[in-house]
Amino acid sequence: MGESEPLDKNVKTAEVALKFEKAQVASEQQVARERTAVDEKASRDLQKERAGIVPSVTPIVYKRYERARAARRGIGIAEVVAGRCSVCNIALRPQYFQELRRADQVLACETCQRILIYNPPQSFDDLADDAQAPATP
Ligand SMILES: [Zn+2]
């Protein structure tokens, strides 16, 4: 019996370590399952929202968007920030930026072909006007 004692001790130590690791893996699997469930629900909600938006988009624009999305790793729209396409980061030509600001047509980034959206910044003057708006009818 004397010779197998250290071996038994090693086996016991390994069993304890294995038990600990199994518990750790099970807990990580549970976390991953919960995270996946949350992500899948978010994906379903967004797909539903998307399906609701599609009918309100002109078919030609939707086609352009889908083409850009397919060609550009799932991102078909880019916001213009400080005169640049926020996705490819290329500066728009000043004249092209002016056309976009007129907002009378749908324009795509000349470099990455994503459809551009532009939200003009609120000026401080506008905010000041609102604050000073007379309360009288
Ligand atoms: Zn771009």
* Domain ranges for the chain: 2-54, 57-117
Instruction: State in Å: Cα 60 to ligand 1 middle.
Output: 20
- How many A from CA of 114 to the centre of ligand 1? 6
Helix boundaries (H) for 54-123 = 59-71, 94-102
Cα 39 to ligand 1 centroid, rounded to whole Å: 28
Q: Residue 4: its pLDDT value, please?
A: 76
Query: 76 with 68: CB under 8 angstroms?
Result: yes
pLDDT of 62 above 70: yes
Residue 116 CA to ligand 1 center (angstroms) comes to 8
H/E stretch holding 29:
helix 5-53
User: 20-56: per-residue pLDDT in tens?
Assistant: 999 999 999 999 999 999 999 999 999 999 999 999 9
Q: Is 37 exposed, middle or buried (0-12, 13-18, 19+ CB in 10 A)?
A: exposed
Using one digit for the tens of pLDDT, what is the confidence trace for 85-113? 999 999 999 999 999 999 899 999 999 99
Report CA(77)–ligand 1 centroid distance (Å).
9
Closest among 89, 74, 82, 76 to 116, alpha carbons compared:
76
The residue-averaged pLDDT of 113-123 equals 88
* pLDDT band at 122; cut points 50, 70, 90: confident
Alpha-carbon distances of 104 from 99, 107, 118, rounded to whole Å: 8, 9, 12
Residue 107 half-sphere exposure, CB side, CA atoms within 13 Å? Answer: 21
Residue that the structure tokens 């926020």 belong to:
86
